[in-house]
Amino acid sequence: MEIDAQIAKLYGEAIKRRASDIYFLPFGNQYQIKIRDAQTLTTWATVSETRARRMINYCKYMADMAISENRRPQVGAMAWQLADRHYSLRLSSVGDFSGTESMVIRIIYDLQEIKTAFLTQEDLWKVHQVSKRRGLIIFSGPTDSGKTTSIYNLVNQIKADKVVMTIEDPVEIKQPDYLQLQVNHEAGMDYSDLIKVGLRHRPDIFIIGEIRDVLTAKAAVRAALSGHLVYSTIHAQSPKGVINRLLQLGVAESFILQAVTAICYQRLIPVKSGERKALLKCHLLAELMAKTSYDWSEWQNELEEAVIKQQISRKTAIDFQFG
């Protein structure tokens, strides 16, 4: 099979399974091509190193990456069409200590295809209510927990005639009626720089892709303090951990108290139907500030209820009992 045909078959299979990622991973003197879908990470094919090298180079060429560079980290992006639908692919490659290259391809789906389904609606309604207060609403959870998708769906429901600006690295979900800015480090446009520019445009709603450093944290807080409704994400192991993370990034507690309205924590839980549904807990800042550690009991009660309703297995409830 020709390389382009094999790549097309791989992409087609991954999209059919609603996979989030495709991996090219060294495996002895061969490569394993793996697909991560809602439930598992499975091996799609095992190919020779030569074949894998050609497939990786083809993908890199299509994503405008340097084919000759197989040691240093690279990122790229490309569009892919299947039938009448368009998908965005984000590629990342890096070589190991011996110069053997691996690659990961993230598949970005259209928002209409990936509307997050929730195990329960109560906390989703709570987010809608706290959004009326403006300020900074932070979604936390690990990578691939549906945080950005949930934010976009929420904003789509409340935006009405409001001006929405997003600042992301990269833009994951394309929305024609949003003003979407993308971080470009080489051009000197980081999160904090784009937030400054964004404030001059006076949007009603900000979506800041991720708070990952001191400058971005302080810029997001500044945007919230200026009266905007700001949604952002951060990596933390619990809702309480979000506060600790902001403090680590140099945001003074007094500014956290003034700027942050609510903190949400979300995971995508495998359900018996073979899909994944979001479990979301939303907390007002005052609820978390009053505690020395996070109490997972409400979260665990939601999982137990899902077991009783036969939405998830007992094993799944145990696996996700602490987020």
Looking from the CA of 117 toward its CB, the CA atoms found within 13 Å total 12
Decide if 92 contacts 73 (C-beta within 8 A). yes
Q: Report residue 208's pLDDT band, with 50, 70 and 90 as the boundaries.
A: very high
List of domains in the chain: 3-108 (3.30.450.90), 122-319 (3.40.50.300)
Condensed to tens digits (0 to 9), the pLDDT of residues 163-195 reads 999 998 878 788 888 999 988 877 778 888 888
Instruction: Note the residue count of the chain.
Output: 323
User: How many whole angstroms separate alpha carbon 66 and alpha carbon 76?
Assistant: 9
For 270-298, b where at least 16 C-beta lie within 10 A, e where not — what string? bbeeeebbbbbbbbebeebeeeeebebee
pLDDT above 90 covers what percent of the chain? Answer: 60
Position 170, amino acid: P
Lowest mean pLDDT among 33-37, 132-136, 198-202, 287-291: 198-202
Query: Would you state the pLDDT for residue 269?
Result: 93
Q: Which two tokens stand for residue 287?
A: 């609820």
Mean pLDDT of 255-278: 92
User: How many whole angstroms separate alpha carbon 228 and alpha carbon 287?
Assistant: 22
Distance of CA 36 to the CA centre of its chain: 15
Query: Would you state the pLDDT for residue 62?
Result: 95
Burial classification of residue 132, based on how many CB atoms lie within 10 Å of its CB (0-12 exposed, 13-18 middle, 19 or more buried) = exposed
Query: Would you state the pLDDT for residue 116?
Result: 65
Contacts of 50 (CB under 8 A, 6+ apart): none
Q: Report residue 316's pLDDT band, with 50, 70 and 90 as the boundaries.
A: very high
State the pTM of this model: 0.81
**Which residues pair with residue 184 across a beta bridge?**
189
Mean pLDDT of 65-70: 92
Is residue 308 within a helix (H) or strand (E), and if so which, with residue range? helix 297-308
Condensed to tens digits (0 to 9), the pLDDT of residues 1-49 reads 899 999 999 999 999 988 889 999 999 999 999 999 866 889 999 999 9
User: How many whole angstroms separate alpha carbon 136 and alpha carbon 291?
Assistant: 20
Residue 85 pLDDT > 90, yes or no?
no
* H runs (alpha helix) in 136-251: 147-158, 191-201, 214-225, 239-248
Query: Would you state the pLDDT for residue 233?
Result: 95
Condensed to tens digits (0 to 9), the pLDDT of residues 86-139 reads 888 999 999 988 889 999 999 987 766 665 688 888 898 999 999 998 899 999
